Amino acid sequence: MLIIERMIIDILLNFTSIEQLNTFMAQPRNVAIIVGALVAIAAALPGVFLLLRKMALTSDAISHTVLLGIVVAFMIMVGLGANPDLNSPLLLIGAAAAGVVTVMLTEAIYRSGLVKADAALGLAFPFLFALAIILISHYVDNVHLDEDAVLVGEIGVAYANINVHCYEQCDSITITPDDARAEFGRRCTNCSAGGLSPRDPEAEFETYCINCGTHTAAEAWRERLIDSPPVQVRWPRAITTMGLIALVNIIFITLFYKELKLVSFDEALAGALGFRPTVLHYTLMILVSLTAVAAFDAVGSILVVAFFIIPVATAYLLTDRLSLIIILSPIFGIAGVYWGYDLARGYFWGLPLDGVLQWLDSIIELNGYTTWNTSISAAMVLMLAAIFVVVWMMSPRYGLIATIINRRLRRLQFEDQMLLVHLYNHLGGEREAEELALETLHQHLQWPRMKLERVLARVRLRQLAKIQHGQVYITQAGIEAVRNFAEQNLPVEHQEQIIRAVGD
């Protein structure tokens, strides 16, 4: 892990100086947004295929139960006497195992044939999550794994959780008594044993070296044993972990793009073509688990689900092309992270919330709740949702507004057609006079009179029908319209019939 981190830093140092890097990484905002962006990228990629396979809630289940993996790994580490650490690879293994166990448990319950699929999922993950919570509250007394961290994570303090990489003046210093920098003092050798005061004449003294021994570079600088400070890079660990997971996901999606596409679209065909859908399925589940556990530290075990689902759903509303969805989803995720941090700091797309609250306070009593204060990860999720809602409303093809307008247009067209077809069918028929009379036309169509008048006005405006002597007649243009509609909407045989009839 440290080696990889070092490599990343080395690459970055080609573009920037150590001081700039340290200043940048010391900003909570910068680190939170970078970590959040990496979470967004890492989660959105497998999320695309979860959504396509209608398994969105499996990510919910897995992100809950990953906690059990973490707790068990924690307990094993404590049992082995190791120092529990949220960045240990053992945690990743535990989490991956927990994710796979969740999927297998759900499938086992479902396969027994005794429980339906939805209930199977609804049984498996609360149980595993409950176990995790019980274990936490009873066996893990660690600052790093409390119930709050489970809920929201600690993305805000990610900048403080660092590895130090030293670049210059890194050697540790060993001071021996004959070193020029050695300092000496005197101490009483028999005072504590003999109960003597140092002032007692019988007290014996010896000279010893105060600062002898080995000092790390940082200690040496603190003691001023060296003239200049060691040159260090303070690198937030979360960036490395999250970045690695994001990289793994990118590689997986790139390598298996067409297989994943096929499996998501037609599992049976994929199996027949020899793509091993089960293997891909479980690999995807493992990636989801790994992503969830890596993101756990940052955003907690429940909110991470939003990063899997919401950006992908947003992209899904904009385009049909899978490749474009894969590109757009992380972008929406990153945007949500960026604006989400601002929201947590009191700015909703630039609108200062404290001002709003104070304004509200002047109108209605807010009982002192006038300072905006919220968890960063929850705010990020809210902004992901806000972007979703905006796209949902505005998307040109699948958006709510577009859909409503389209539906309304199509309904109007449909009404026009129904009137025209009625006119057309009864033109020249034996009951023409009765069926086409303006006064009673609405009764034959089973429409309210007002509706008929509206439709008739539209149709007449487009010169598809005309009124003569209290009778409604279809025009040649109207007949054309009927023919076009039939071509587009009715079964082939009927088109022929109608087209033939119209042609006659």
Partner 1 sequence: MTEQGKSCNWALEINDLTVAYNSKPALWDVDLRVPEGVLLAIVGPNGAGKSTLIKATLDLIPRAAGSIRIYGKPYRQARNLVGYVPQRGSVDWDFPTSVLDVTMMGLYGKIGWFKRPGKKERELAMSALEQVGIAHLAHRQISQLSGGQQQRTFLARALVQDAQVYFMDEPFAAVDAVTERAIVNILKELRERGKTVIVVHHDLQTVRDYFDWVALLNVEMVAVGTVYEAFTNDNLRKTYGGRIAGIGAASGAIDVTSTRDSAEYAEVGDAV
Partner 2 sequence: MQYKSHHVWWVIAIMALIFLIFIPLSIALGVRYDYTLTTVAVGGALLGAISGMLGTFTVLRKESLMGDALSHAALPGIAIAFLIAGRQLGWLLVGAGIAGWIGAQGIRAITNTTRIKQDAAMGIVLTTFFALGLTFLSFIQQLPDASQAGLDQFIFGQAAAIVRRDVELIIIVGTFALLGILFFWKEFKLITFDREFAGANGYPVQLLDLLLGTLIVVAIVLGLQLAGVILMVGMLIAPAVAARQWTHHLGQMTILSMMFGAFSGASGAVISGIDTGLPTGPIIITVAFTLVFISLLFAPERGLLWTWWRQLQDKRRFAAINVLIDIYRHACQHDDPHYPAPEGYLRALRGPIAKTGLYYLHKAGLIRSVGKDKWALTDSGEAAAIHEDRNRLLWALYRQHSEALSLPSIREEREIDIRHCLPEDAVSQLEVLANELTDKQNLES
Site residues (CB under 8 A) for partner 2? Answer: 51, 54-57, 59-60, 64, 109, 112, 114-116, 118-119, 121-123, 126-127, 129-131, 133-134, 137-138, 147, 151-152, 302-303, 305-306, 308-310, 312-313, 316-317, 367-369, 371-375, 377-379, 381-382, 384-385, 388, 392, 398, 400, 403
Pick between residue 368 and residue 428 the one whose CB is nearest to partner 1.
428
- Closest approach of Cβ 242 to partner 2, in Å? 19
Pick between residue 54 and residue 224 the one whose CB is nearest to partner 2.
54
Give the Cα separation of 253 and 326 in Å (integer): 9
Site string for partner 1, 155-174 (x = CB under 8 A): --------------------
Contact of 27 with 91, CB cutoff 8 Å:
no
**Cα 301 to Cα 137, 150, 235, 238, 422, distances in angstroms:** 16, 5, 24, 15, 61
Q: For the chain, give the number of residues.
A: 504
Does residue 450 touch partner 1 according to CB under 8 A?
no
Does residue 484 touch partner 1 according to CB under 8 A?
no
- Closest approach of Cβ 417 to partner 1, in Å? 9
DSSP three-state, residue 455:
helix
Contact of residue 126 among partner 2, partner 1, none (CB under 5-8 Å per partner type): partner 2
- Closest approach of Cβ 261 to partner 2, in Å? 18
- Closest approach of Cβ 309 to partner 2, in Å? 4
CA 135 to chain centre: 27
Contact of 304 with 242, CB cutoff 8 Å:
no
**In sequence order, what E strands does 78-180 have?**
162-168, 173-175
Give the Cα separation of 64 and 58 in Å (integer): 10
Does residue 414 touch partner 1 according to CB under 8 A?
yes
Give the Cα separation of 50 and 438 in Å (integer): 57
Does residue 447 touch partner 1 according to CB under 8 A?
yes
Does residue 489 touch partner 1 according to CB under 8 A?
yes
Does residue 490 touch partner 1 according to CB under 8 A?
yes
Pick between residue 122 and residue 271 the one whose CB is nearest to partner 2.
122
Q: Which of 283, 255, 254, 281 is nearest to 270 (CA)?
A: 281
Give the Cα separation of 305 and 292 in Å (integer): 8
Nearby residues of 61 by Cβ (< 8 Å), 6 or more positions away: 102, 106, 121, 124, 125
Q: Select the residue interacting with partner 1 from 195, 201, 396, 491 (CB under 8 A).
A: 491
Does residue 413 touch partner 1 according to CB under 8 A?
yes
Give the Cα separation of 364 and 367 in Å (integer): 9
Instruction: Name the H helices within 373-461.
Output: 376-394, 400-426, 432-435, 441-445, 449-461
Does residue 494 touch partner 1 according to CB under 8 A?
yes
Q: Select the residue interacting with partner 1 from 397, 407, 449, 462 (CB under 8 A).
A: 407
Binding site for partner 1 (CB under 8 A): 116, 407, 410-411, 413-414, 418, 421-422, 425, 444-447, 489-494, 497
